[in-house]
Amino acid sequence: CNPPADRHVEYEGYDGWYNNLAKPSQGAVDTPLLRLLPPAYEDGVYQPVRRKANPLEVSEKLMRGQNGKMSKGGRTAFLLYFGQQVVEEILDAQGPGCPPEYFNIDIKSDHDFARSPRLKVMPLLRTRYDMTTGFSPNNPRQQLNEITPYLDGGLVYGTSKGWADALRSFSNGSLAPDGLLAWHDELGEGFPAENTQRLPMANPPPPTNHSSYVRQQETAKVDRFFKLGNPRGNENPFLLTFGIVWFRWHNHVAKYLRSVHRGWSGERVFNEARKWVIATYQAVVFYDWLPRYMHTSLPKYQAYRPTVDPQVSHIFQSAAMRFGHTLVTSGVYLRTRNEQGCISLPYELTAPEGSSQRRVVGVRTCNSFWRSPELFTRDPAHFERLLMGLSSQSTEQEDNVIVDDLRGRVFGPLEFSRRDLMAINIQRGRDHGLPDYNTARRHFGLATLDSLDTEEYKRKTGTHVEDQVLSSLRSLYDNDPSKVDIWPGGLLETRNGPGQLFSKVILDQFERIRDADRFWFENNNNECQMAAATQCEAPPALAEEWGIPCWAVTVLLQDNEPYDHFTRVRNSDGAQPQCLKLQHPLLSVCASLYPCTFNLSTPIAGKQPSRGMLSSLVSECRRSYH
């Protein structure tokens, strides 16, 4: 699609400003999250919510269970990790405030964390907020979204022009250099370059060599990562795989446009390719991923609605969007084309500290955090193998059980290297002043619960929960639904997908994002984006050269029929049953928790440490989390 030469073409910005011409800052970076529910701060202003239930105890009693059960809805790991990059396209509210405010979680004496290395609290920093808020009940604290809520390609290009410029070639519309995908010197044109410019990407310590990081007073170097638009895009190999797909798609669209429009400048090619990529992304998210994730669809798009606020809501950020955690697997198999088994693809993994090296058949989630490039630098073919593993392997079952890789072995700062993400979910909701479960249900037009008795719960939520789990819920929250945190309350509603409350929140969020976007690909002002998204297989050379005819990997498995990577966990290619779900005996053991400690009697850099130096080292430990 070629806009007329005499027609002014407006290209979407990177930071969200002026998407809404009447409200220029709406949806811009570093603007407050949206409060759909009234805040429940302890003092009505900014103090975090105080509830009786200990978040670590809630995680242990409500979310521990057997891992390895297959999805009831046929959801694949491909759907799961595609969803993670969707969330990271619209939301980043994890950065700590300044000055730092700790909202730590007490560790009870019977918890694993208390036994070794005998720690008393799990550290958690409160998040960044608008410094003009938090002064009165009429102006309560408002936390910030550090990126735009629009589906505007931020995870590909970044959310500032400066970041995008660091990824470009400025010669032919490609991502640098020379029409090749930010060419990695060792891996070739299919992979991004290493972050030698040291873009400020998220960089918590990986699960190996923790003791050496403490001695060095810093975590691993940020230049080991691939250079991406998403600052958190190197968190795990599964997420990174999609980052590589989108980078490849931009460069090949740019190559196609150059071949068709030889008179276009490199700047024109880049901007038109970016429009094409964004349109494709929007179409895939709304018409392929979201209906399969939710098992329902949004109402048909009507028109741009400038009065709608697209901003991510607090309840989406701190609770509903975290539904995906129940789907997370302990790892993902590597598979080859037309391979009938998974166990033929073992690879050597750098062992976590305190364990021995071994050959494993899959990529273990807990041991791959912030080590993603390592998988591809060892063998570039793992990119294709991981895509095939993702698209043929089931997620975990949709229920209240969370894998150990998240519930006790997720990454953390140097002073507490492995943490419980489920406890953090609960504490984050309290940090942001989220009200209780019943208040949330009432706001979204759902029946409130009078108690947590089995029959009452089943009748009001339409969900059957095991008696033992409900008994624990009653004990933790005094049988009072108005004391229950939204995250565990909504998670327990899970059936074949998000339950009543989370479904309402998620669908509301995505409908607002779509309708409030002036640059939405279906908007009448964006005919060319509409054509690009609906005819994304136009450049036939892409299928021939990369096996990526549109946005994904349709031909990688060499099917003779259309293949649904999102929800079709299949066995039609003769794969053994164990290939459809991951078996723990075939995986590496999760890295242990290590604290950040300093020995005052040990010289550091040839100096005897003073109390001031120790304070500096502890501060460095804390900063390393972000």
pLDDT of residue 333: 85
Q: What is the dihedral of CA 127, 131, 135, 138, to 10 degrees?
A: -90
Contact by Cβ (8 Å): 104, 123: yes
Task: Write the CATH number for 500.
Answer: 1.10.640.10
Res 351 pLDDT > 90: no
Res 575 pLDDT > 60: no
Indicate whether 20 belongs to any domain: no
CA 119 to chain CA centroid, nearest Å: 28
Find the mean pLDDT for residues 538-552: 38
Higher-confidence residue of 622 and 97: namely: 97
Token reading at 151: 């589906």
Give one word for 429, left, alpha or beta, with left for phi > 0 and alpha for psi -120 to 50. alpha
User: 288-297, 533-542, 610-619 — which one is most confidently predicted on average?
Assistant: 288-297
Indicate whether 618 belongs to any domain: no
pLDDT of residue 592: 87
Higher-confidence residue of 119 and 190: namely: 119
Contact by Cβ (8 Å): 86, 513: no
Indicate whether 81 belongs to any domain: yes
pLDDT of residue 618: 47
**Range from 252-266, 327-341, 467-481 carrying the lowest mean pLDDT:** 327-341
Indicate whether 223 belongs to any domain: yes
Average per-residue pLDDT in the chain? 84
**Range from 102-111, 303-312, 564-573 carrying the lowest mean pLDDT:** 564-573
Indicate whether 442 belongs to any domain: no
Higher-confidence residue of 113 and 620: namely: 113
pLDDT of residue 7: 62
pLDDT of residue 330: 93
Question: What's the CA gap between 425 and 423, in Å, rounded?
Answer: 5
Res 56 pLDDT > 90: yes
| Count of domains observed in the chain | 1
Annotated binding-site members for heme b: 325
Give residue 379's pLDDT band: very low, low, confident or very high (50, 70, 90). confident
pLDDT of residue 435: 98
pLDDT of residue 399: 96
Res 598 pLDDT > 90: no
Higher-confidence residue of 573 and 20: namely: 20
- On the 0-12 / 13-18 / 19+ scale of CB atoms within 10 A, 103 is middle
Question: Which 8-state DSSP code applies to residue 287?
Answer: I
Indicate whether 225 belongs to any domain: yes
400-423 as b/e: b if 16+ CB within 10 A: bbbbbbbbbbbbbbbbbbbbbbbb
pLDDT of residue 594: 83
pLDDT of residue 401: 97
pLDDT of residue 573: 47
Res 4 pLDDT > 80: no
Higher-confidence residue of 4 and 128: namely: 128
Indicate whether 453 belongs to any domain: no
Find the mean pLDDT for residues 412-430: 95
CA 161 to chain CA centroid, nearest Å: 23
Higher-confidence residue of 564 and 168: namely: 168
pLDDT of residue 118: 77
Contact by Cβ (8 Å): 204, 413: yes
Domain region containing 277: 31-434+485-595
Indicate whether 509 belongs to any domain: yes
pLDDT of residue 358: 59
Instruction: Summarize pLDDT for 239-273 with one digit per residue, the tens.
Output: 999 999 898 888 889 989 999 999 999 999 999 99
Task: Give the DSSP H/E element, type plus range, for residue 331.
Answer: strand 331-333
pLDDT of residue 585: 61
pLDDT of residue 415: 86
User: 350-364, 377-391, 591-605 — which one is most confidently predicted on average?
Assistant: 377-391
Contact by Cβ (8 Å): 591, 409: yes
Res 603 pLDDT > 50: no
Res 548 pLDDT > 60: no
Find the mean pLDDT for residues 194-209: 89
Res 611 pLDDT > 80: no
Res 184 pLDDT > 80: no
Give residue 545's pLDDT band: very low, low, confident or very high (50, 70, 90). very low
Question: What's the CA gap between 205 and 214, in Å, rounded?
Answer: 10
pLDDT of residue 159: 97
pLDDT of residue 544: 38
Token reading at 391: 């698209």
